[in-house]
Homo-oligomer: A and B are copies of this chain.
Amino acid sequence: MSTPTMLSVTDVTACCAPLTRETIPVEQAIDLARALKALADPTRLRLISMVAASAGEEACACDLVEPTGLGQPTVSHHLKILTEAGFLTRSQRGTWAYFALVPGALDSVARLLVSA
C-alpha cells in the first residue's frame, strides 16, 4: 500500500461539527468518507460484530475465518483495513493474533451522522 498512514477515526472525530449543522469542508468530508468506506462492507461489519460479541470484546483471528465463509487471506485483509481505519486493535500473542474493538470508535462516527 502506498499510504500505510494511520488515518484512524480519531482524526475525523477530533474537532468536527456534525454533518447536518453546516456544510462540512471538503477535507473533513474526505476523512469521514474514508472511515465510512472502511465500514461499508458486509464482511467487515460482521467481523466488527463478531469481535464485539466476543468475551472481552476481543477475538482470535483463527476464530473469525470460518464463520465468514471466506478465505483466510481475505479475512486478514479485511482485518487490516479495519485496524488501519482505527476501528480495531491488533495484539499478537504467540502465534495468534487477537483483535479488539477500539472503544468509542464507532460511536465517534455515529455522532457525526446524527443531527443533535
Contacts and interface: CB of A to CB of B under 8 A. Distances in A.
Interface of A: 19-24, 26, 29-30, 32-33, 36-37, 39-46, 48-50, 52-53, 67, 101, 106-107, 109-111, 113-115
A93 to B, nearest CB: 22
A49 B36 contact: no
6 contacts: A22-B49, A29-B46, A32-B42, A32-B45, A37-B37, A107-B115
A52 B20 contact: yes
Interface of A is mostly: helix
A77 to B, nearest CB: 16
A12 B66 CA distance: 25
B46 A23 contact: yes
Contacts of A26: 42, 46
A88 to B, nearest CB: 12
